[in-house]
A and B are shown apart, each in its own frame.
Chain A
Amino acid sequence: MGQFDFDVAHLLAGGLVLISLTMLYQDRLYALIRVFALHAFVLALSVAWQAAIQNAAHLYITAAIALVFKGIIIPVALHRIMVRLGIHREIETVVGIGPTMLAGIGLVALSMVVMLRVTAEADSLAREDLAFALSVVLLGLLLMVTRRNAVSLVVGFMSLENGLILAATGAKGMPLVVEISVAFSVLIAFIVIGIFLFQIRERFDTVDVGALDRFRGERR
C-alpha cells in the first residue's frame, strides 16, 4: 500500500474523530444534526476510499448506504421531527462543554493506547483505523451520556454506529449481508426511537429524558 493511500485513509479516519469531537462541542440541535450529516458523509468517503484501495466492490455499497441513509434520510427526518416537535432550543448538557471535551480527548487517548497495544502485529493502516474507530464509538457513547435531549441521544447512537462501520471496513472482512442487516437494524432502531420520541412528547410535553426519570419517581 502506497504512502499516499495510507495518508488519505488516515486523514479521513482522523477527520471522523474530529467531527465526533465537533458534535460534542455543538450545543444546538440543528447544528448537531448538520454535523452529523457531515459525519456520515466523511464516513462514506472513507469507506469508498477503502473500497478503492482494497479493490472491494461491496464496500462501495456500504458507502452508498451510509451516504444515503445517514447522510441524507436520517438527518432530514430528524430535522422534520424537530420542526414538528418545535424543539430547536439549546440542548441542556449534563456537564459543561469544557469537561466534556476534556473527557473526549481522554477517551481518544485511551482508545489509542488500548488499540495500538493490542494490535501490535497488524499492519499500520488497520491499527490506526481500529484506534480511530474505537474513539468514534467511545465519543458517540460520551455524547449519549452527556446529553439529556432524546434527539441528541439518537444522534449519538448513530455516530456510534458509524464508528462500528469504520472498524469493519478497516478490518477488511465484514460480509455484505452483515453490513446490510446492520444498516437495516439501525434504520429500524431509528424508527423505533422516532416513535418513542413522539410518545414521550405526547405524554410529557418535552423530549428531555429527565422527564422519564421523574416519571419513574427517581431522583435526578
Chain B
Amino acid sequence: MLLVLLLAPLLTGFVRSVKARLLRRHGPPIIQPYRDLLRLLRKDAVLAHNASWLFRVAPYLIFAATWVAAALIPTFATGLMFSWSADLIAIVAMLGSARFILALAGMDVGTSFGGIGSSREAMIATFSEPAMIMIVFTLALIAGSTELSTVASFMLSSAVGLRVSLGLALVALIMVAIAENARIPVDNPATHLELTMVHEAMVLEYSGRHLTMIELSAMLKLLLYVSLIACVFAPWGLAPDGAGPIAYLIGIAAYILKLAIAGLLLALFETSIAKMRVFRVPDFLGAALMLGLLAMLLRFVSRSL
C-alpha cells in the first residue's frame, strides 16, 4: 500500500520529464512532483466564501477511495493480504465513487468552471465506466473469475494462449485509461485554458493541502491503471503467493521496469497526438465501449467451441 503511494509521483514525474525530453526541452527533474506536493502541503488552504463541509471533506475521501483501489491491485506479487475483499468490479466502482465525490466538489463553490468540469467528467464517465465493465467481463470470462489475483495467476499460466478478445480488451483498456487519467487526446493535464479543461476545471478552487490530496490521487490513479494493465496483460515477474524474499525482489524490479516502459510509451503517445474537441471524445470512448462489447460477445460465443 505504501509502495504505490511512494511510486505514484515518481511515475508522473517520469512521464513529464520524458515528454519534455521529446520536445527537446530540459524539463523538471523526476522528483519534482514530490517537491510540488510538499510545497503545497506547507501552504494555507484557501477556501471560497461559500464552500461547504463537503468541499473540505471531499479531497480526503477521494484520496482514500483511490488509494484503497490502487492498493488492491497486485503490483509485484499475487495473493496480497486483502486482495479478496474487493474484485475488479468493486475496484472500478470505487474509482467511480471517487469521481462522484470529485464531481460534486467541483460543483460546490458554484462557479462556471466547476460546473463545466463536472458536467464533462460525468459525460466521459458514462462511456468509460461501461467500457471498463465490459473489459472486466471479458477478463472474467477468460479467467473464470473477477478476482484480480486469480486473473493474474491465470494469465501467467500457459492456459491463456492468444485470444482475439484479449487483444480487443487491451486496446479498449488503454483507451479507457487515457480518458480516465485525463491524458492528452481527451484532456490535457498541463493546461488551464477554460474551454478545453476537464479535470483541472473541477479542482480549480482547491489549494494547499486539499490540492495535495487531489493531485496525489490523480497520480495514484495513473499508477493504478498502469499497474492494472501490467498485471493483467504483462504479468511476468509477479511473485506467486507465499514466495521467498528473492522472488519479491525480482517482482519489485520487474514492476518498476514495467512502470518505466509504460511511462515511456505514454509520453511518446502524448507527444505524437493532438488533443481532440470535447464532443469528439464520445466517439473515441464509444469506440472503446464497442471494442469491449465485441470482446465480450466473442468470449460469450466462442465459449461453446
A–B contact (CB under 8 angstroms): yes
**Is B161 within 8 A of A98, CB to CB?**
no
Can you name the residue of chain B whose Cβ is closest to the Cβ of A9? Answer: B162
The contact string, 1 if C-beta is below 8 Å from chain B, for chain A 1-34, is 0011001101101110110010001000000000
Evaluate contact between B297 and A98: CB separation under 8 angstroms.
Answer: no
What is the 8 Å Cβ interface bit string for chain A, positions 106-140, against chain B (1 contact, 0 not)? 00110011001000000010011000000000000
Decide yes or no: A3 and B283 within 8 Å by CB, A116-B301, A124-B305 being known contacts: no
Residues of A within 8 A of B293 (CB): 105
Whether B298 is near chain A, meaning CB under 8 Å from some CB there, is: yes
- Chain A residues, Cβ within 8 Å of B291: 18, 21
A101-B297 contact in complex given A10-B164, A124-B305, A128-B302, C-beta closer than 8 Å: no
CB distance from B88 to the nearest CB of A (A): 23
Chain A residues 89 to 103 lying within 8 A of chain B, measured CB to CB, are 97-98, 101-102
Q: Does B168 contact A (CB under 8 A)?
A: yes
The distance from the CB of B206 to the nearest CB of chain A, in whole angstroms, is: 34
- Partner of A21 from the list B163, B290, B305 (CB cut-off 8 Å) is B290
The answer to whether the Cβ of B110 comes within 8 Å of any Cβ in the partner chain is no
Q: Is B144 an interface residue (CB 8 A)?
A: no
Residues of B contacting A17 in the complex (Cβ-Cβ under 8 angstroms): 164, 294
Q: Which listed residue, B162, B165, B286, touches A98 by the CB 8 Å rule?
A: B286
A3 touches B161 (CB 8 A): yes
Contact of B164 among A11, A25, A102 (CB under 8 A): A11
Give Cα distance in the complex from A124 to B301, angstroms: 12
A98 to B164 alpha-carbon distance, docked (Å) = 22
Contact between B283 and A25, CB atoms less than 8 A apart: yes
Given known A-B contacts A98-B282, A102-B290, A105-B290, A11 and B167 have beta carbons under 8 A apart = yes
From the candidates A8, A21, A113, name the one contacting B162 in the complex (CB within 8 A). A8
Known: A3-B161, A10-B162, A128-B302. A18 touches B167 (CB 8 A): yes
A104 within 8 A of B: yes
Which of A21, A105, A124, A127 makes the CB contact (< 8 A) with B297?
A105
C-alpha gap A124/B302 in the complex (Å): 10
CB distance from A112 to the nearest CB of B (A): 5
Contact mask for chain B residues 261-305; partner A; CB cutoff 8 A; 1 contact, 0 none: 000000000000000000000110011001101100110011011
Smallest CB separation, B305 vs chain A (Å): 5
Q: How far is B156's CA from A101's CA once the two chains are assembled, in angstroms?
A: 33
Of the listed residues A14, A21, A102, A116, the one surrounded by the most CB atoms of chain B closer than 10 A to its CB is A14
Q: A10-B164, A14-B298 are in contact. List 16 more A-B contacts (CB 8 A).
A: A3-B161, A11-B164, A11-B167, A13-B164, A14-B164, A14-B165, A18-B167, A18-B171, A21-B291, A98-B282, A98-B283, A101-B290, A102-B290, A105-B294, A112-B301, A124-B305
Please name 19 pairs of A and B residues whose Cβ atoms are closer than 8 Å in the assembled complex, sorted by A: A10-B163, A13-B164, A14-B167, A15-B164, A17-B164, A18-B167, A21-B290, A21-B291, A25-B287, A97-B283, A101-B286, A101-B287, A102-B290, A104-B290, A108-B294, A108-B297, A124-B305, A127-B305, A128-B305
